[in-house]
Amino acid sequence: MTTDRFTEIQRELTSRADPEAARAQEKNYGIPADHVYGVPMREMKKLAADIGTDHALAEKLWDTGNYESRTIAAFIADPVETSIDVMDRWCRDSDSWALVDTLCFR
């Protein structure tokens, strides 16, 4: 089930890709454009709300290295299942303040 949801989410994100928005995120916010689709935060939040909590899926999404996938991972990860080791790894992997903020607030 998680693999199907993963594929569906990746397909959804790529279908919403906006290269111009990705370049703008890099220019305006320092989010590296080489790992960004340019999907607005409101759309990522809606996708995450539709998914709910799914820690295994969050791990798969995080491992993509993609900004939007990682943002959704932060929204859907289960705090009870998020170990200190996972948080340390996710913090080390974060390449922008935007991901760090999302992880801290979620």
CA gyration radius, the chain: 13
pLDDT recorded at residue 30: 87
Summarised one tens digit per residue, pLDDT across range 20-38 is 999 999 998 888 888 899 9
pLDDT recorded at residue 1: 54
pTM (predicted TM-score): 0.92
**104 falls in which pLDDT band (50, 70, 90)?**
confident
Summarised one tens digit per residue, pLDDT across range 46-81 is 999 999 999 999 999 999 999 999 999 999 999 999
Phi/psi-derived region of residue 39, left when phi > 0, alpha when psi is between -120 and 50, beta in every other case? beta
Placement of tokens 């995120």 in the chain: 25
